[in-house]
């Protein structure tokens, strides 16, 4: 009986040690926080990404904070997010240069459109983007047109200000005029305000289509997507070497970046919106790049969103593995 007890005890200890060793090799549960733009959130795309990413990495729970690009970057700078997924190359470069971000990857693109009332009081349908803005200014000064700006420091707001500048105006001065309204909110709220005021506004195509589909607005596209309206999305991990960001979940951020740039991740962009709108709401950039199907479009995207010929200069790369191969 003593021998049996000893054998049983040894067996139990062996099983316990084996189980401990197995559990020790299992990944520990983690939380990843991604600070991102309202267009991804309001269209429902983030729900799709979350379900697929967590299916691949069940030990990583991913949460998204939806804000305009400016606020999304500030959230990451404070250390309240682990990475960003945004759409304003100029602000992204500053994030890298200030030491807060590493391993930037361009992931997708779509286009902005200029939308307005169905009766188009300024008569800008079919004009070029800059000519359309000039005419809105002319009609606005005469009391016959209204403009609604995001006014929130987002990527869309940054694009809008650059377009007004290219048209010959200062957006800060425009904001003082009675016909120019700043919403200070996301794309859906801005579109709703524009709809209520019979106004014009700049919107990313995905947000416009989604809000038309849900009945939030009744507006039309007056200036279609074009090269001037290009909109490019990127991901950047927080730099764990920065003294304020040592708690960032860099490993999970890199897994997210590797996933969203993988064939499976790029396919999520390619398929999102097809069933509802007959076309993708966000176009996968890496798929386009690797296919070689449209080198002219690739060049346009790179001219707009690359820095000195690269999506991420080498000094802003850290433990990037095969990310840039």
pLDDT single digits (tens) 297-317: 999 999 999 999 999 999 999
Element (DSSP H or E) covering residue 285: helix 285-291
Same domain, 133 and 167: yes
Cα separation of 306 and 227, whole Å? Answer: 15
Residue ending a domain, among 229, 257, 290, is 229
pTM: 0.87
Which domain range does residue 192 map to? 111-229
Same domain, 86 and 48: yes
Same domain, 191 and 254: no
Whose CA is closest to 140, among 173, 164, 190, 174? Answer: 174
Residue 209 belongs to some domain of the structure: yes
Same domain, 177 and 142: yes
pLDDT in tens, 244-296: 999 999 999 999 999 999 999 999 999 999 998 888 999 999 999 999 999 99
Same domain, 204 and 285: no
Q: DSSP assignment, residue 200?
A: B
The model's confidence at residue 225, banded by pLDDT at 50, 70 and 90, is confident
The answer to whether 133 and 310 are in contact (CB under 8 A) is no
Same domain, 117 and 222: yes
Kindly report the CATH number assigned to the domain that includes residue 36: 3.40.190.10
Residue 206 belongs to some domain of the structure: yes
Residue ending a domain, among 214, 229, 244, is 229
Residue ending a domain, among 206, 229, 252, is 229
Dihedral of the alpha carbons of 166, 167, 173, 179, in degrees to the nearest 10: -140
- pLDDT given at position 268: 98
pLDDT in tens, 163-200: 999 999 998 999 999 999 999 988 999 999 999 999 99
Residue ranges of the alpha helices (H) in 143-261? Answer: 155-166, 171-174, 187-196, 205-213, 250-260
Residue 295 belongs to some domain of the structure: yes
The model's confidence at residue 24, banded by pLDDT at 50, 70 and 90, is very low
What the block records as the tokens of 140 is: 């606005």
Same domain, 242 and 258: yes
Mean pLDDT of 117-135: 96
The dihedrals phi and psi of 250, each to the nearest 5 degrees, come to: -65, -40
Mean pLDDT of 124-149: 96
Same domain, 37 and 138: no
pLDDT in tens, 29-86: 999 999 999 889 989 999 999 999 999 999 999 999 999 899 999 999 999 999 999 9
Helix axes 250-260, 45-56, angle to 10 degrees: 110
Residue 131 belongs to some domain of the structure: yes
């Amino acid at each position: 009986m003593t021998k049996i007890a000893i054998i049983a005890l040894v067996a139990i200890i062996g099983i316990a040690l084996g189980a401990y060793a197995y559990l020790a090799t299992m990944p520990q549960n983690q939380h990843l926080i991604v600070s991102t733009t309202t267009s991804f959130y309001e269209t429902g795309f983030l729900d799709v990404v979350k379900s697929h990413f967590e299916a691949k990495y069940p030990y990583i729970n991913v949460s998204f904070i939806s804000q305009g690009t400016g606020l999304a970057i500030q959230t990451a700078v404070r250390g309240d997010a682990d990475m960003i997924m945004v759409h304003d190359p100029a602000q992204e470069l500053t994030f890298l240069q200030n030491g807060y971000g590493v391993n930037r990857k361009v992931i997708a693109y779509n286009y902005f459109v200029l939308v307005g009332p169905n009766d188009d009081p300024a008569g800008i349908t079919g004009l070029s983007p800059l000519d359309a803005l000039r005419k809105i200014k002319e009609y606005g000064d005469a009391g016959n047109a209204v403009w609604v700006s995001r006014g929130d420091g987002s990527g869309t707001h940054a694009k809008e200000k650059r377009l007004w500048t290219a048209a010959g105006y200062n957006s800060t001065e425009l904001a003082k005029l009675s016909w120019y309204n700043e919403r200070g909110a996301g794309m859906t709220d801005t579109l709703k305000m524009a709809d209520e005021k019979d106004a014009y506004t700049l919107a990313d195509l995905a947000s416009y289509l989604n809000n038309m589909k849900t009945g939030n607005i009744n507006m039309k596209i007056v200036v279609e997507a074009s090269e001037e309206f290009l909109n490019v999305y990127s991901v950047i991990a927080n730099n764990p070497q920065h003294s304020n960001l040592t708690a960032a979940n860099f490993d999970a951020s890199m897994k997210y970046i590797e996933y969203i740039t993988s064939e499976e991740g790029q396919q999520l962009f390619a398929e999102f919106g097809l069933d509802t709108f007959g076309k993708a709401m966000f176009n996968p950039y890496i798929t386009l790049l690797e296919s070689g199907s449209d080198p002219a479009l690739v060049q346009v995207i790179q001219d707009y969103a690359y820095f000195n010929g690269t999506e991420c200069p080498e000094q802003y790369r850290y433990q990037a593995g095969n990310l840039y191969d």
